[in-house]
Structure 1
Amino acid sequence: MKILSKRIISALLAAMTTVGTVACADSQPDNNSETTVGDTQTGGTDAVETDATETGRAAVSDNLPSDLNLNGRSIRILARSGDKDTRLEFLADEESGDIVEDAVYKRNLTVCERLNVTLDVIEVNEERHSGAGINDLLTASVMAGSDDYDLVANHLGQLSPLILQGIFQNMYDLPYIDWDQPWWNQSYNDAVTIGGKRYACAGELSLSMIMGIYATFFNKQLWDNYYNDQDLYEIVKSGDWTLDKLTEFSTGVYEDINGDGACDEGDTFGMSYILDSIQADAFAAGAGVSFTEYSDGKYTWALENEHTADFLGKMEKLLFDKSTLLTTNLDAFQTTLLDKMKNDSALFIVHMLSGTELLREMVGDYGIVPMPKFDASQSDYKTTVHNGSSVFAIPATAVGADEIAAVLEALCSESYRMVTPAYFDVALKVKYARDDSASEMLDICIDSISFDFAYLFNSAIGSNAAIFRSLLKSENIGSAMSTIASKKSEVDSKLAEIVTAYGELE
């Protein structure tokens, strides 16, 4: 059974909204090519196994009819493939021995056999940080009234403006999608919805979103050296993992390893942090800071409050004690963040889960816990994801949206059962299916993903959802609240424009 075909479009051609294909080897992703892969024998779902059985994920089934047959329909998916984070969401030509690739392959096979469909992936050579080429292709297609694509997967931040241009169909009431299932990200899906209109969605099909979750990594050797009488996993489970705890644990670690009498990169620190980076967004999300609030049919700027001021105070205490934390700029990302963890010279770092790939050569062990709460009274752990994570939408010109919805539901549900547990096996360096405390931490990280409406439409509101990156860049953050207040008029006006645009959409 043929399950997957793929077409590769260069980002340059995508930017010119010209689609061309020439035959070339599959190993040349920068060229334009059309390739058919994966003539496989039908083995039924019995051939697809996953270690998720012990975790309970495999026991959570979707509600798609068992006799649903889409009669060999080809589902055309416009997607990025410029790096591993994006390519792995759809593309696995065959079983290779790589845990995650094999899970993606088996998921695709299962979905195609269940629904009698093929997946036609139209690749655009763009990576996690980009999506303009896909936007250009898609906009040109829809504006021309062409039915070229059934499903699009693109950069969260760059897809959002297309919503306001009427490029997508409302998915809110489509059949077959059960929005209450655990493979859908409720926070994103609620945030992107206004008045029963949902033009994009997020779920566990987005491996780039799972990989893009921001979490706290800790060096287990340093933890045992300094805090072997405490169990950080138990602190998390008790609800007591907070900004104050992070500061407390970070404060007692500093050692002048190189003996030069200065706090510098040659020493051991409680934490390493990159200034003016998305890590600031993760801390704000973790502390439950809300950029906007929705009331009486409108969104307003909501940062002017005591909670925000208290959050800034806690962050100032954490970030600017030079004997606690090593700070640097983004240019020194590798040496000050990841290498400090690998070399057992930083107890904590904040990073995406994909950082596990870069820690693969680490001799010692690391652990992963969620972002710290503001305080113990905060009800849940929260975090954000990289804004280049993929979200999904159905183009306005696509025909048969109900069938597309069925395939999307199946892809998300099978990803929940197969792909995410496989990725966690890699992230943990142990089997996720053991269901131990380390696995529980990753479940908490997924459950803690939180989206603010401002984050979705950051570019439309003057990038003010990233305001903490600059506010937490220097020790002089005492004027931060006045800076926040100065943004209110501008942001409220932009938010009103977005809500008005939603109201005019079909």
Structure 2
Amino acid sequence: MRKKATRAAALVMILTQLVIVASCDSEEQPIDTATTTETQSQTTEPEVTTALPADLDFGGAECRIFNFDSGSWNTQLLAETQNGEVLNDAIYNRNIKVEDTLNVKLTEFRESEWNTAYEAARRLLASGDDAYEIYFTNDRNALSLAQEGYIEPLSDMPYVDLSREYWSQTINEDISIHNKLYFSYGDFNLTGYEAVNVLLVNKQLAEEYSLPDHYDAVLDGSWTLDLLAENMKLVTNDLDGNGTFDENDQYGITSHNKQVLPCFWVASGLRTIEKNENDEPYFALPGNEKFADMYEKVLDIMYTDNVYFNSASLTNYADNTVFKEGRALYNIVRVAFMTYYRDMDYDYAIIPYPKWDENQTEYYSRFEGGAVSFTPKVAANKELAGAVMELMACESMKTVIPVYYDTVLKNKYARDERSIEMLDLIYENRICDLGDTFWSDKIRDGVFAGKFAANDRDLQSTIATMEPTVNKVIEDTIAAFDEVDAAASSQGSASAE
């Protein structure tokens, strides 16, 4: 299977506007080939702009942003100064453009981490304090705040157009309920890229064991779960010959226990939570034969012939020394954690997770949730908030995302040009399973992490036990949003009178 000619809109802009990257103080240059130069000179994409009024002027008003620090993703929204680091400077220049265009002043308050951010945000919103126009919180926490009626629906926000290409279309479709979004992912928020999972391949081990070329396998469609299993068995080796497998031996794959199953169920085109025709989530596992087959197959693969090493036993599972030191063929890793492997001595490839079989036409990539943006109902100046979010998303697509993609992903993380091609495929089909994000405590972490760790094959009784709990959580969520909508409608009717 060859790469699609039509990319997701954001990534098309990344590849076709590299000249913009250079104008953002980037010292990194795109790979210089005659073919690339010729193609770019012949195909010029029209500049993406918002539908904001040209004379929109907020008179120097302050737009206050509530944010938090995260060890899991890059949540940087503001930059105090230019410092020569290309991503920081791109963010700085974007914000100057937003401030100058709208005549606003962007300010930011940052909490130390996502739990304290949620607690602080909830206190402010519960008290009715109009402290910030825009909030960023973890998506699960934003869901709780939306259910309590604190968040303005984005469809009611002035100037916000969620149909535009600088809003994360596929992810936002996954997190909507009743076709309504209270919070969203957009291009001014790097977690939409950083919280995607990729598979790293030790190229030296692949060559040493004469494995099929991984890049070719991805592109010709033969990259499947079966091929992954074959490769892992070939590479696994008791290096010290003591009959016991530990961190000093060689493995087919390494990961934290909780990350394995969701990466492979998403890659197989599955979700634990699906949507019905009314855009209502429902528990998708009862009676799901393909999920049962996937579950059994993945456990068979991982628990046969010692191919799997659980990185939770290491000091820092994200900084996986077994892979870094060349003793694993594959490493399950979040893009944000690839910073740990920048200086790895062994060369690696970046590829998507394998398809279930060759009949599957697409590669699917797991997006495991991140920080989302929203505006509270108590915000007095929603016009300001909406205009800033819309313009920040648009300008980020044109400047920040190309720098992130071209400098961070391509020049810091990727080791060769073909890994860049793989990243295009990876970002093309990002899937957000609500059982892996909103309700991970009930499904991924609450159940499947433990079952995988124990090699527990009793799936059907577990699903039967889970079903009432998961259904109630979903029903309560839908009911809460119905109440929020009803209250808003009642308030609107009263205001009209």
Note whether the superposition's TM-score is higher than 0.5: yes
* 1:23 matched residue in structure 2: none
Partners of 2:267 and 2:247 in 1: CA distance: 27
Question: Which region of structure 1 is more displaced relative to structure 2, 246-255 or 179-188?
Answer: 179-188
Question: 1:429 & 1:190 partners in 2: Cα distance?
Answer: 28
C-alpha contact 1:171 1:200 (8 A) present in aligned 2: yes
Alignment match, 1:235: 217
Asked whether the equivalents of residues 166 and 397 of structure 2 are also in contact (C-alpha less than 8 Å), the reply is yes
Could you say which residue in structure 1 is the equivalent of 2:69? 81
Matches within 5 A, 1:114-153: 114-126=101-113, 131-153=114-136
Change (3 A) 1:310 1:262: same
In the aligned structure 2, how far is the partner of 1:299 from the partner of 1:401? 29
Instruction: Find the counterpart in structure 1 of residue 254 from structure 2.
Output: 272
Which digits, 9 at most, give the CA deviation of each residue in 1:17-71, with x for residues without a partner?
xxxxxxxxxxxxxxxxxxxxxxxxxxx9996356689789986513234444333
How far apart, in 2, do the equivalents of 1:173 and 1:159 lie? Answer: 17
Higher relative contact order (CA 8 A, sep 6+): 2
Indicate conservation of the 8 Å contact 1:204/1:415, yes or no: yes
- Calculate percent identity across the aligned residue pairs: 26
Q: Please report how far the alpha carbon of residue 426 of structure 1 lies from its aligned counterpart in structure 2 after TM superposition.
A: 4.8
What is the distance in 2 between the residues matched to 1:435 and 1:265? 28
Task: Kindly state the Cα deviation for residue 435 of structure 1 after the two structures are TM-superposed.
Answer: 10
Partner SS, residue 187 of structure 1: helix
Partners of 1:192 and 1:199 within 8 A in 2: no
Q: Matched residues in 2 for 1:340 and 1:198: separation? A: 41
Alpha-carbon distance in structure 1 between the residues aligned to 2:371 and 2:71: 13
Out of 342, 347, 371, which is 2:324 matched to? 342
Q: Which residue of 2 aligns with 1:450?
A: 431
Structure 1 residue 358 displacement after superposition: 0.7
Relative to structure 1, the CA distance from residue 403 to residue 284 in structure 2 (aligned partners, 3 Å threshold; closer, same or farther) is same
Structure 1 pair 206–197 and aligned structure 2 pair: CA distance change class (3 A): same
- Within the alignment, does 1:472 sit opposite 2:460 as a pair? no
Deviation at 1:395, TM superposition (A): 0.8
How far has the Cα of 1:425 moved from its partner?
4.0
Return the match for 1:441 from 401, 422, 430: 422
Measured in 2, the distance between the counterparts of 1:204 and 1:375 equals 32
* Partner AA of 2:97 in structure 1: T
Structure 2 counterpart of 1:62, one-letter code: T
Q: C-alpha distance in 1, partners of 2:239/2:179? A: 58
Q: Which residue of 2 aligns with 1:485?
A: 464
What SS does the corresponding residue of 2:332 show, helix, strand or coil? strand
Aligned to 2:404: 423
Provide, for residues 113-137 of structure 1, a one-character-per-residue CA deviation record: whole Å limited to 9, x for no partner. Answer: 23222211011111xxxx2322233
CA distance in 2, matches of 1:169, 1:265: 50
- Count how many residue pairs are aligned between Structure 1 and Structure 2: 451
Q: Which amino acid aligns with 1:283?
A: F
Residues 385-396 of structure 1 correspond to what in structure 2 (within 5 A)?
A: 385-387=367-369, 389-396=370-377
* Contact 2:203/2:346, CA 8 A, preserved across alignment: yes
Specify the SS of the correspondent of 1:289.
coil
Counterpart AA for 2:105: T
Identify if the C-alpha distance between structure 1 residues 271 and 104 changes in structure 2 by more than 3 Å, giving closer, same or farther: same
Q: Mean alpha-carbon deviation: is it higher for 255-264 or for 467-476?
A: 255-264
Separation in structure 2 between the aligned mates of residue 83 and residue 58 of structure 1, nearest angstrom:
36
Which residue pairs with 1:48 in the alignment? Answer: 24
Map of 1:262 onto structure 2: 244
Which residue does 2:209 correspond to in 1?
A: 226
Using the alignment, how far apart are the partners of 2:427 and 2:210 within structure 1? 27
Give the corresponding residue for 1:154: 137
Q: Work out whether residues 205 and 415 of structure 1, in 8 Å CA contact, stay in contact via their aligned partners in 2.
A: yes
The equivalent of 2:481 in structure 1 is 502
Measure, in 2, the Cα distance between the counterparts of 1:183 and 1:98: 24
Counterpart AA for 1:320:
Y
**Aligned 1:305-320 pairs, distance under 5 A:** 305-320=288-303
Q: Are the counterparts in 2 of residues 184 and 412 from structure 1 also a CA contact under 8 Å?
A: yes
Kindly indicate whether residue 93 of structure 2 is the aligned counterpart of residue 106 of structure 1: yes
Return the alpha-carbon distance in structure 1 between the equivalents of residues 284 and 461 of structure 2.
13
* 1:204 Cα deviation after fit: 2.4
Residues 59 and 244 of structure 1: CA distance in aligned 2, closer, same or farther (over 3 Å): farther
Structure 1 CA distance, aligned partners of 2:420 and 2:193?
Answer: 14
The answer to whether the 8 A contact 1:172-1:196 is kept is no
* Cα separation, partners in 2 of 1:177 and 1:49, compared to 1, 3 Å: farther
Aligned pairs (5 A) from 1:296-445: 297=278, 298-304=280-286, 305-325=288-308, 327-328=309-310, 330-332=312-314, 334=316, 338-387=320-369, 389-428=370-409, 430=411, 436-445=417-426
CA displacement at 1:492 relative to structure 2 = 1.4
- Give the letter for the 1:410 counterpart: L
Q: C-alpha separation between the residues in 2 aligned to 1:57 and 1:340?
A: 45
1:83 to partner: Cα distance: 4.6
Distance 2:415 2:103 in 1: 34
For the residues of structure 2 that align with 1:353 and 1:182, how far apart are their CA atoms?
22
1:289 is matched with which residue? 270
Amino acid at match of 1:154: T
Q: 1:424·1:432 contact (CA, 8 Å) conserved in 2? A: no
1:86: how far off? 4.2
Q: Secondary structure at the match of 1:154?
A: strand
Q: Can you give the 5+ residue segments of structure 2 that lack an aligned partner in the other structure? A: 1-19, 31-35, 489-497
- Length-normalised TM-score, structure 1: 0.80
What is the alpha-carbon distance in structure 2 between the residues aligned to residue 336 and residue 435 of structure 1?
22
Cα distance in 1 for partners of 2:175, 2:44 equals: 26
SS class of match (1:85)? coil
1:362 to partner: Cα distance: 0.9
Aligned residue identity for 1:423: Y
Q: Whole-Å Cα distance in 1 between the matches of residues 117 and 412 of structure 2?
A: 36
CA RMSD of aligned residues (A): 3.1
Query: C-alpha deviations, 1:310-338, integer Å up to 9, x for none?
Result: 1112201221123423x235242647972
Amino acid at match of 2:79: A
SS at match of 1:349: strand
Q: Residue 176 of structure 1 contacts residue 406 of structure 1 at CA under 8 Å; is this kept in 2?
A: yes
Distance in 1 of aligned mates of 2:22 and 2:352: 35
> How far off its partner does 1:449 sit?
1.8
**Aligned equivalents of 2:406 and 2:378: distance in 1?**
39
Contact 1:78 1:152 in 2 (8 A): yes
